[in-house]
Structure 1
Amino acid sequence: MSAVPLNPTPPARTSELSVTLLGATGSIGSSTIDLIRRSRDRYRVEAVTAARNATALAALARDLGARFAAVADPACYDELKAALAGSGIAAAAGEEALVEAAERPADWVMAAITGAASLRPTLAAAERGAVVALANKECLVCAGSLFMRRAAAAGATVLPVDSEHNAVFQSLSAGTRADVKRIILTASGGPFRSWPLEAIRQATLEQALKHPNWSMGPKITIDSASMMNKGLEIIEAHHLFDAAPEEIDVLVHPQSIVHGMVEFRDGSVVAQLGPPDMRVPIAHCLAWPARIAGANRLTFAQMTTLTFEEPDEVRFPALRLAREVLRTGQGAPTVLNAANEIAVAAFIDRRIGFPHIAALVEATLEASAARGVLREPEAIADALAVDHTARSLARDLLPEIAAKAI
């Protein structure tokens, strides 16, 4: 049986769906809000959150008629409260405020907070049985077994927002889980898809941030350049679809039109196609099981070529690391994610070169295994403890890795 049911029973809906946006000011939040604004009569916003941008969050809360707004950074509380003065919208700040936002009575929750900070609020939404549109990777990479187990126990519905997993989710409806032979995630290949290894080793921050197809934040854009994002998505797919590592493949598809495929045992391959616009999978989740207007439509006459190729794990070692981590299991995915966040931040700060990202992640995994910290998280506190230890190890290893010629 699939962790995400093939044909899940949709929750009972009134004419107006109440929604909460965790991470309202980010790119996913902005795309979600764009869709909500197009169908204001269908949705009522319960709560919105942001990391630190209190002024922007307050403006969104007022415009959307939200009842509650929260910033993660307590230092931003006064700014948020002042910006909401006279609106009747409750303001709060801090980690517990994010959890409170998730626990408020919304039918549907967009979980788009990035980083380990997403774990507690996203799980809080799932544990009250909400429909959770999962846009962050950390919940499943850091605590996938725990998260899916608790979501199932609470009767929550988890809808994948990542374009690849959403594509697989839609494609799976063509058959039964028992008939699935493999799940195929597609990857654009990022800006360095055709670069030789030596050129990739010399890649600059500016080059890594020039994604050929998608418009995303800097962290995920760099993850795309290293193909770490695809490695994280393999781990996500394992938990979302209850798929063994050998059932999940990756194909590089530079046109970013086919987002995911499912091969069935009779030889049929069912694929989902769409423009490279996150509003497509968000619209699918927001209206599910119905459909609403999303992004621009595909123009098939302009698609002269769709190509596919095997990924190169020599030029993109992050993909190899992610596969190894999935086979290792336990707390290894948590370490992978934490070390990668430290490495990408250091690359953005120009403290390390592009090839040092994967090198730092691998060194942190090795150090974590040597210290016996790769234990399976049984609770959120366990996952956060492994995450904290891995970040500390990665920071300690950073000077040594930065000094290496790779």
Structure 2
Amino acid sequence: MSHSDAILDRLMSLHPKVIDLSLDRMHRILAALDHPERRIPPVIHIAGTNGKGSTQAMIRAGLEASGARVHAYTSPHLARFHERIRLAGELISEADLAAALEECEAANEGKPITFFEITTAAAFLAFSRLAADYTLLEVGLGGRLDATNVIDQPALTVITPVSIDHTQYLGETLALIAAEKAGIIKPRIPCIVGPQQDEALRVIEARASGLTAPLSIYGQHWMVAPDRDGIVYQDDHGLWDLPMPNLIGPHQIQNAGTALAALRHLGASHGQASAAVTRAEWPARMQRLTRGPLVEAAGPQAELWLDGGHNPAGGEALAATLKTLPPRPTRLVCGMLNTKDVAGYLRALAPHAEGLTAIDIPGEPNTLPAATTAGIAASVGLPADSAPDAETAIRRIADQEPRARILICGSLYLAGRILRSNG
């Protein structure tokens, strides 16, 4: 176990609840640290239900193409915690992470604070100590009371598509969830708004109007659409003809549009726009696995894919992506958390797969039991069985159908375990 892992384990025990949305504990620890959040490079703050990470990755690729130094904060991590904090483009070093965590642990003095709050404070501390041009800050959950929402004057806020997820924390309706996401909008600070359902957009517009924050809204102020073998982005400043995003799936065109609208606001060139869509890297978003023990288990003729989407909108995005791929018998290997709308997620995928093998998410206390996942899959019309682990599931599928397209899906936590175990 690394030094930072040992500290992270200790920090897990400081608050009984994993999630407890409030800004009081953040304000307390940031004051004890002498307000590092006020000394970080200009912030682009990103909220939304789906597409936050991909959109952030594209904004970063566009900014870095001009030579800008960009800090970035994202969650959850897939293989190791260091992925959450990028300092001027590079993952935080073990030494810098351990130092920031220890300083936050000391400043907190054992008081109650959630794991996400204290690690967010550590990110601010690290960001405040290294010069950069921008800080990309991804909201953890919601927006209004999220630990990242302590930045009074960001350079720009961004809201990606809002849909139903995390209802136990954010409310049961789209309007309530949108109100939480819109909590990152700040007085007179411009906000880029990705594609939204009308109910969510009305809430975002009302919040912005009350704060006189100018909005740049998909479908009103900017457009993005597939065009021949690329995409076209258009706004009041003109038109960009660009290559197809290297992140796979029709929903990535919308994410690209949101990123391009943000970059346009920041004065980006056509070259930066092109880099945004062609150079972004974001693992476990329809990622093709090409080597490692799981690829060997699948055999030479099969395809192995990984996707971390986990709510009904994620299922729909994945289904739309599968529709665009060359036809192949498709089998899902699926593990999900017990907090998710499993039927809603799988219903969208059922018409695009021949069957599903359910697994538990290894090492995850909130995993849905594989047998339960299989039962829900069967109820939405997906023939299903279960297996003790991903490798067994993959071997079994490949034995029956050597040319299968095998898609491991259902959870970012599962995706992280898969990336770790596959090396």
Do the structures match in fold with TM over 0.5?
Answer: no
TM class, shorter-chain normalised? 0.3 to 0.5
The structure richer in helix per residue is 1
